[in-house]
Amino acid sequence: MLRDATINFDTTGTPPIAAGQAFAGKIMDDRKSAKPTPEAACEQTDWLVAVRDKRDKLAFARLYDHFSPRLKGMLVRSGMTQAAAEDVVQDVMLTIWRKAHLYDETRARASAWIYRIARNRQIDVIRRRPRPVPDELIAEAETRETREADAAIGLEQEAAQLREAIEALPEAQREIIERAYVGELTQAEIREATGLALGTIKSRIRLALEKLRHELRDLREE
């Protein structure tokens, strides 16, 4: 069932949480000097598509150079030692290489897909048991080609808008959001905090899922 398109994470009126403010690290310091444009951010998605479709090792090396320092930084900030973080980064990068066929650029930007893989692996390691993950909804290559090419571009535009919205937030609120996604907040802190309207992005991804379901159904009927 398609619910109303705007499930809102809107936090107007939600008080900022104290826990997030006391020792918030600055993680977006370099943003103003090197603000990625939507086209530049799209680069990583292009690299991942090249890895998926052409097993392109140069594109993989670019992904490695872009993501491995960021992943290591995120994992260390969420409590891992440098050595443990590097082990996880290694597993994440090899998972990207081996599971690239599952990547669907109409639903996820490269950074979103890699963010998920990193969380999965980190939690496998920390908890010493496999993290429960949703069943994969697999996009076969042939259905992917029939989907609108501009779906990924649309996702990119939404992402650019969300990035602007994050940047426009008051400093304290922005830091809470960053800390939440980096993995520094507890479940209870996240329950109190929130703060990001993801309704339009959700609707776009929802649409991509509907198209995928539809095309998978058509494939089965052929």
Partner 1 sequence: MTEITHHLPDWLVRSYATGSLGHAFSLVVAAHVSQCDECRARLEAEELAGGLVLDDLKGMAPSDDLRRRVFDGLDDDDVIVAEQPARAGIYPGAVVEAMGADSPRWRALGGGIKQAILSEDKEGSARLLYIPPGMAVPDHTHGGLELTLVLQGSFSDETGRFGVGDVEVANDDLDHTPIAGMEDVCICLAATDAPLKFKGLLPRLLQPIFRI
Restricting to residues 21-50, name those near partner 1 by CB under 8 A.
26-31, 36, 41, 44
CB of 25 or CB of 219, closer to partner 1: 25
Report the site for partner 1 in 44-83 (rule: CB under 8 A).
44, 57, 60-61, 64, 67-74, 76, 78, 82
CB of 21 or CB of 123, closer to partner 1: 123
Site for partner 1 contains 97 (CB under 8 A)? yes
Report the distance separating Cα 140 and Cα 47, nearest Å. Answer: 19
CB of 21 or CB of 203, closer to partner 1: 203
Report the site for partner 1 in 180-219 (rule: CB under 8 A).
180-183, 185-187, 189-191, 194, 196, 198, 201-203, 205-206, 209-210, 213
Q: Binding residue for partner 1 (CB under 8 A) from 16, 24, 111, 153? A: 111
Residue located via tokens 């496998």: 124
Report the distance separating Cα 123 and Cα 52, nearest Å. Answer: 25
Q: Binding residue for partner 1 (CB under 8 A) from 131, 150, 171, 172? A: 131
Site for partner 1 contains 102 (CB under 8 A)? no
CB 49 within 8 Å of CB 108 = no
Minimal distance, residue 171 CB to partner 1, in Å: 15
Which of 12-20, 124-132, 144-152, 214-222 is the region at the interface with partner 1 (rule: CB under 8 A)? 124-132
Report the site for partner 1 in 134-173 (rule: CB under 8 A).
134-135, 137, 155, 158-159, 162-163, 166
CB of 22 or CB of 98, closer to partner 1: 98
CB of 123 or CB of 153, closer to partner 1: 123
Q: Show the tokens assigned to 203.
A: 């609707």
DSSP the chain: ----S------TTPPPPSHHHHTPPP--GGGTTTPPPHHHHHHHHHHHHHHHHH--HHHHHHHHHHHHHHHHHHHHHTT--HHHHHHHHHHHHHHHHHHGGG--TTT--HHHHHHHHHHHHHHHHHHTSPPP-PPP----HHHHHHS-THHHHHHHHHHHHHHHHHHHS-HHHHHHHHHHHHT-S-HHHHHHH-----HHHHHHHHHHHHHHHHHHHHHHH-
CB of 151 or CB of 155, closer to partner 1: 155
